[in-house]
C-alpha cells in the first residue's frame, strides 16, 4: 500500500474544556482531491490549522507523507501549502513583493520565485494588479493571493480553507480548474467548504464533519446513495381523469390542491423506473379522459442531501464510515 499523503488518527481538540474535534480519523491518498465539508462551526478550520502546524496542542496523530506533524514540524511544514480562511498579508506591500517575501520565507530560491510568481499571477488573472498595494485589493483578489502564496513552493499537499468563499462565479470556476490541474500534476489537495455542491465535479472524495466528528467519507455518489432521499413527481391536471387511483400505484400520492398531485417515489428509483412512472401517468391520464398541464420530476440535489443529513444527525442518528 502507498503511504497516504495525509493521515489523521484519533485527532481530538478542546478549547477551554469544550470539545471541538472528537476522534477525527481519515486519510488521503497521493493525487486525491478531498473535500472537507461541514456546517459553520463544525471544526474544519481547527482541523486544517492542526495540519498546518498552527495549532500544536491536540490529542491523536497527524502525519504528512509519513512525517509526524508534532515530532518533525519543519519537515512536515515544507510538504504543505496552506491557505488560511482569513489570509493576513503585509498590507503596505505590493502584490509582487508580498508574494516574494512569503516565497522567501518558504525557502524558494530568488530566480524560481520570480518565474513562479509571474506565472501564477497570470494564471489567476492578477498580472495587472502586481504593483498594487495589498490593502487596495478586493476580497476576491486577496483570496487569490492567498492561494498563490500556498502554491509558490509547489507543495506535495495543498490545504485550502474555504477557498471558494467570497469568489465570483468565474473566479470559482478558475479556482476549481486550478485545483484539477494541480491534482493532475500529482499534487494532493484538501479543501474545506460549508457547501456540499461546491465540491461537485472537483473532489474525488468527501469527508463530512459535523459537530467535530467525521460522520462519513466517500465519493459523492456513495454519499448520495447513503442519504437515500425520495424523488418527487408533481402532476398537474388541466382536467383530471375520471379515476386517479393509478397515482397511488406509483408511490405516495397527495392532492395538494384540486387537480395538483405530488407523487413521492420511495427510496432512490433507477432512472428507468422514473421514465416508466411518467409514461404510465401520461397513458392512464389520457385513457381516463383527462388532460395534463405539467409533470415535473424533482430529484434531490447535493445541498438537499446535505441539509437532510445534518438535520438527521442533529436528531441523534449517526452514520457509519
Ligand atoms: N481559538 C479558539 N478559541 C476558542 N474556541 C475556538 C477557537 N477556534 C475555534 N473555536 C471554536 O471551535 C469551533 C469550531 O470552529 P472552526 O474550526 O473555526 O469551525 P469551521 O471552520 O468548521 O467553521 C467553534 O465553535 C469555534 O467557536
Ligand atoms: Mg472555518
Nearest alpha carbon, ligand 1 atom 1:
15
pLDDT at 267: 65
Task: Write down the pTM of the prediction.
Answer: 0.81
Q: Is residue 314 part of a domain?
A: no
Query: Based on the domain organization, do 275 and 293 belong to the same domain?
Result: yes
131: its cell numbers: 504593483
Domain end residue (candidates: 174, 196, 226): 226
Residue span of the structural domain in which 80 resides: 6-226
Domain end residue (candidates: 226, 254, 284): 226
**Three-state SS letters, the chain:** CCCCCEEEEEEEEEECCEEEEEEEEEEECCCCEEEEECCCCCCHHHHHHHHCCCCCCCEEEEEECCEECCCCHHHHHHHEEEECCCCCCCCCCEHHHHHHHHHHHCCCCHHHHHHHHHHHHHHCCCHHHCCCEHHHCCHHHHHHHHHHHHHCCCCCEEEECCCCCCCCHHHHHHHHHHHHHHHHCCCEEEEEECCHHHHCCCCCEEEEEECCEEEEEECHHHHHHHHCCCEEEEEEEEECCCCCHHHHHHCEEEEEECCEEEEEECCCCCHHHHHHHHHHHHHHHHHCCCEEEEEEEECCCHHHHHHHHHHHHHCCCCCCC
Q: Is residue 25 part of a domain?
A: yes
**Closest ligand 1 atom to 39 CA:** 22
Nearest alpha carbon, ligand 1 atom 14:
43
Q: Is residue 52 part of a domain?
A: yes
Query: Based on the domain organization, do 129 and 181 belong to the same domain?
Result: yes
Nearest alpha carbon, ligand 1 atom 12:
20
Q: Is residue 304 part of a domain?
A: no
Ligand 1 — pocket residues by CB below 6 A?
A: 15, 20, 38, 40-46
Q: CA-to-CA distance for 4 and 162, rounded, in angstroms? A: 23
Q: Is residue 144 part of a domain?
A: yes
Query: Based on the domain organization, do 171 and 27 belong to the same domain?
Result: yes
Number of domains in the chain: 2
Q: Which CATH number is 25's domain given?
A: 3.40.50.300
Q: Which CATH number is 295's domain given?
A: 3.30.70
Nearest alpha carbon, ligand 1 atom 9:
46
Exposure string (b/e) for 204-238, b if CB count within 10 Å is 16 or more? bbbbbbbbbbbbbbeebeebbeebebebbbebbbe
Query: Based on the domain organization, do 185 and 118 belong to the same domain?
Result: yes
Query: Based on the domain organization, do 193 and 106 belong to the same domain?
Result: yes
Ligand 2: distance of its center to the CA of 161 in Å? 7
pLDDT at 1: 65
Ligand 1: distance of its center to the CA of 11 in Å? 15
**Closest ligand 1 atom to 16 CA:** 4
Ligand 2: distance of its center to the CA of 308 in Å? 21
Query: Based on the domain organization, do 130 and 246 belong to the same domain?
Result: no
Ligand 1: distance of its center to the CA of 318 in Å? 22
pLDDT tens digit sequence for 194-205: 988 888 889 999
Find, among 57, 71, 63, the residue nearest to 20 by Cα.
57
Ligand 1: distance of its center to the CA of 44 in Å? 8
Domain end residue (candidates: 226, 246, 273): 226
Ligand 1: distance of its center to the CA of 41 in Å? 6
24, 186 contact by CB (below 8 A):
no
**Closest ligand 1 atom to 85 CA:** 21
Ligand 2: distance of its center to the CA of 193 in Å? 8
Q: Which ligand is nearest to the CA of 160?
A: 2
**Closest ligand 1 atom to 38 CA:** 22
Query: Based on the domain organization, do 14 and 55 belong to the same domain?
Result: yes
Q: Which ligand is nearest to the CA of 42?
A: 1
Query: Based on the domain organization, do 260 and 222 belong to the same domain?
Result: no
99, 149 contact by CB (below 8 A):
yes
Query: Based on the domain organization, do 222 and 253 belong to the same domain?
Result: no
Which residues of the chain register pLDDT less than 50?
316-321
| Among 14, 21, 24, 46, residue to substitute to test ligand 1 (most atoms within 8 Å of Cβ) | 46
Query: Based on the domain organization, do 201 and 263 belong to the same domain?
Result: no
Nearest alpha carbon, ligand 1 atom 2:
15
Q: Which ligand is nearest to the CA of 54?
A: 1
Query: Based on the domain organization, do 96 and 235 belong to the same domain?
Result: no
Nearest alpha carbon, ligand 1 atom 24:
41
**Closest ligand 1 atom to 48 CA:** 17
| Residue labelled with grid coordinates 518558504 | 106
Q: Is residue 278 part of a domain?
A: yes
Query: Based on the domain organization, do 203 and 250 belong to the same domain?
Result: no
Q: Is residue 14 part of a domain?
A: yes
Q: Is residue 319 part of a domain?
A: no
Amino acid at each position: 500500500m502507498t503511504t497516504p499523503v495525509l493521515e489523521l488518527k484519533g485527532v481530538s481538540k478542546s478549547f477551554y474544556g469544550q470539545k471541538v474535534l472528537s476522534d477525527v480519523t481519515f486519510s488521503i491518498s497521493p493525487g486525491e482531491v478531498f473535500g472537507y465539508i461541514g456546517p459553520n462551526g463544525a471544526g474544519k478550520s481547527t482541523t486544517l490549522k492542526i495540519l498546518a502546524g498552527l495549532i500544536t496542542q491536540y490529542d491523536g496523530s497527524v502525519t504528512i507523507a509519513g512525517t509526524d506533524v508534532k515530532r518533525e514540524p519543519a519537515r512536515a511544514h515544507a510538504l504543505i501549502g496552506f491557505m488560511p480562511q482569513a489570509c493576513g498579508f503585509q498590507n503596505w506591500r505590493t502584490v509582487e513583493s508580498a508574494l516574494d517575501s512569503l516565497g522567501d520565507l518558504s525557502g524558494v530560491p530568488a530566480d524560481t520565485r520570480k518565474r513562479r510568481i509571474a506565472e501564477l499571477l497570470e494564471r489567476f488573472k492578477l498580472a495587472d494588479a502586481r504593483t498594487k498595494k495589498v490593502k487596495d485589493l478586493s476580497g476576491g483578489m486577496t483570496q487569490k493571493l492567498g492561494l498563490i502564496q500556498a502554491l509558490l513552493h509547489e507543495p506535495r499537499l495543498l490545504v485550502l480553507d474555504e477557498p471558494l468563499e467570497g469568489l465570483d462565479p468565474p473566479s470559482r470556476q478558475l479556482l476549481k480548474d486550478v485545483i484539477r490541474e494541480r491534482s493532475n500534476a500529482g499534487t494532493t489537495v484538501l479543501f474545506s467548504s460549508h457547501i456540499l455542491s461546491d465540491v461537485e465535479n472537483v473532489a474525488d472524495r468527501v469527508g463530512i464533519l459535523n459537530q467535530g466528528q467525521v460522520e462519513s467519507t466517500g465519493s459523492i455518489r456513495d454519499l448520495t446513495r447513503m442519504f437515500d432521499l425520495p424523488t418527487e413527481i408533481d402532476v398537474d391536471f388541466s382536467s383530471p381523469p375520471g379515476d386517479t387511483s393509478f397515482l397511488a400505484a406509483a408511490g405516495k400520492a397527495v392532492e395538494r390542491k384540486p387537480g395538483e398531485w405530488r407523487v413521492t417515489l420511495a427510496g432512490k428509483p433507477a432512472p428507468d423506473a422514473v421514465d416508466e412512472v411518467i409514461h404510465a401517468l401520461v397513458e392512464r391520464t389520457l385513457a381516463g379522459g383527462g388532460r395534463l398541464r405539467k409533470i415535473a420530476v424533482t430529484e434531490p440535489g447535493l445541498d438537499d442531501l446535505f441539509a437532510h443529513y445534518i438535520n438527521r444527525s442533529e436528531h441523534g442518528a449517526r452514520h457509519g464510515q
